[in-house]
Amino acid sequence: MPTPLKEGAAALEALGGTRGEFLDMISVTLPKAALIDGLKALREAGLEMLTDIHGMDYLTYPGHHGKRFAVIYNVHDVAATSRLFVRVELDDGESLPTSTGLWPGAAFLERETFDMIGVEFDGHPDLRKILTPEDLDGHPHRKDFPLGETPTLFNEGRFLDPATFRAGLTGRDEGLTGWKGGTRHGTVATQPTLIDPMMARSLKREAERQEGEGEE
Amino acid sequence: MSSRLPPAPTRADDRIPRLGDFETRHMRINVGPQHPSTHGVLRLVVDLDGERIVRLKPYVGYLHTGFEKTMENRTYQQGITYSNRMDYVNGFGHDLAYILAVEKLIGARVPERAQRVRVILTELNRIASHLVFFGTTLLDMGALTPFFYTMRERETLQDIFEAVTGVRMNYGYYRAGGLYRDVPDGFDQAVRAFGASFPRYLEQYDTLFMENDILIARTKGVAVLSRQQAIDYCLTGPSMRASGVALDFRKAQPYSGYEDYDFDVPVFEQGDIFARLMVRRVEMAESLRIVEQALDRLEPGPIIDPDRRVSLPPRRELETSMEAVIFHFKLVTEGFHPPRGEVYVPTESARGELGYYLVSDGGSMPYRVKVRAPSLANLQSLEVSSLGGLFADMVINIASFDPVLGDVDK
Amino acid sequence: MALKELFVKDVQELEGDGFLFESLQNLVKWGRSNSLWPVTFGLACCAIEMMAATNARNDMARFGSEVFRASPRQADVMIVAGRLSKKMAPVMRRVYEQMPDPKWVISMGACASSGGMFNNYAIVQNVDSVVPVDIYVPGCPPRPEALIYAVQQLQKKVRGEAFDERGTALPMVEGWSRT
pLDDT in tens, A200-213: 677 778 778 877 76
Q: Which has more confidence, C17 or B308?
A: B308
pLDDT at B309: 82
Model confidence at A192, pLDDT cuts 50, 70, 90, reads: very low
Contact yes or no for B132 and C56 at CB 8 A: no
pLDDT tens digits, residue range C111-149? 999 888 898 888 998 898 899 998 999 999 999 999 999
Cβ–Cβ contact A129 with B under 8 A: yes
Give the highest mean pLDDT range of A81-95, B150-164, C12-26: B150-164
Does the domain made of A4-122 have the CATH classification 3.40.50.1700? no
Cβ–Cβ contact A138 with B under 8 A: no
User: What percent of chain C clears pLDDT 90, i.e. is strictly above it?
Assistant: 41
Cβ–Cβ contact B363 with A under 8 A: yes
Judged by average pLDDT, the poorest of B197-206, B268-277, C63-72 is C63-72
Model confidence at C178, pLDDT cuts 50, 70, 90, reads: very low
Report chain A residues whose CB lies below 8 A from the CB of C130.
none
Q: What is the ipTM of this complex?
A: 0.86
- Does the pLDDT of residue B243 top 90, yes or no? yes
Cβ–Cβ contact B372 with A under 8 A: yes
Report chain C residues whose CB lies below 8 A from the CB of A136.
86, 121
Cβ–Cβ contact A71 with B under 8 A: no
Give long-range contacts, CB 8 A cutoff, 24+ apart: B243-247.
Answer: B243/B268, B243/B269, B243/B271, B243/B275, B244/B268, B244/B269, B244/B271, B245/A78, B247/A49, B247/A78, B247/A79, B247/A80
Report chain B residues whose CB lies below 8 A from the CB of A86.
none
- The fold for domain B63-409 equals Cytochrome-c3 Hydrogenase; chain B (1.10.645)
Model confidence at A182, pLDDT cuts 50, 70, 90, reads: very low
Mean of pLDDT over chain A: 80
Contact yes or no for C45 and B88 at CB 8 A: yes
Q: Name which of C174, A166, A116, A193 is nearest B371 in CA terms.
A: A116
DSSP notation for A116-159: HT--EEET-TT---SSS-TT--S-TTSTTS---PPPEE-TTS-E
- Does the pLDDT of residue A72 top 70, yes or no? yes
Report chain A residues whose CB lies below 8 A from the CB of C85.
133
**Mean of the pLDDT values across residues B359-385?**
91
CA distance A192 to chain B (A): 12
Tell how strand B178-179 and strand B174-175 pair up: antiparallel
Cβ–Cβ contact C87 with A under 8 A: yes
**Mean of the pLDDT values across residues A74-103?**
89
**Mean of the pLDDT values across residues A68-95?**
89
pLDDT tens digits, residue range B61-95? 999 998 999 999 888 989 999 999 999 999 999 99
- Does the pLDDT of residue B1 top 50, yes or no? no
**Cβ neighbour number for residue C23 with a 10 Å cutoff:** 10
- Does the pLDDT of residue B405 top 70, yes or no? yes
pLDDT tens digits, residue range A108-161? 999 999 999 999 999 998 888 899 988 888 899 998 888 888 887 777 777 777
Q: Is the pTM of this model over 0.90?
A: no
Contact yes or no for A149 and C120 at CB 8 A: yes
CA distance C50 to chain A (A): 25
Report chain A residues whose CB lies below 8 A from the CB of C87.
132-134
Residues of chain A with CATH 3.30.460.80: 4-122
Contact yes or no for A56 and B376 at CB 8 A: no
- Does the pLDDT of residue A57 top 50, yes or no? yes
Contact yes or no for A148 and C121 at CB 8 A: yes
pLDDT at B236: 92
Return d(Cα C158, Cα C152) in angstroms, integer.
10
pLDDT at C80: 93
Helix, coil or strand: residue C96: helix
Distances (CA, A) of B163 to A132, A139, B121, B300, C66: 38, 42, 12, 18, 30
Model confidence at A171, pLDDT cuts 50, 70, 90, reads: low
- Does the pLDDT of residue A188 top 60, yes or no? no
CA distance B8 to chain C (A): 37
- Does the pLDDT of residue C177 top 50, yes or no? no
Contact yes or no for B365 and A132 at CB 8 A: no
User: What percent of chain B clears pLDDT 90, i.e. is strictly above it?
Assistant: 62
Per-domain boundaries in chain B: 63-409
- Does the pLDDT of residue C17 top 60, yes or no? no
**Mean of the pLDDT values across residues B327-349?**
89
Which residue of C47, C70, C121 is in closest CB contact with B66? C121
Contact yes or no for B63 and C85 at CB 8 A: yes
Contact yes or no for C119 and A140 at CB 8 A: no
Model confidence at B317, pLDDT cuts 50, 70, 90, reads: confident
Q: Name which of B200, B191, B135 is nearest B161 in CA terms.
A: B191
pLDDT tens digits, residue range B389-402? 999 899 999 999 99
pLDDT at C29: 85
Return d(Cα B342, Cα B104) in angstroms, integer.
10
Contact yes or no for A22 and B343 at CB 8 A: yes
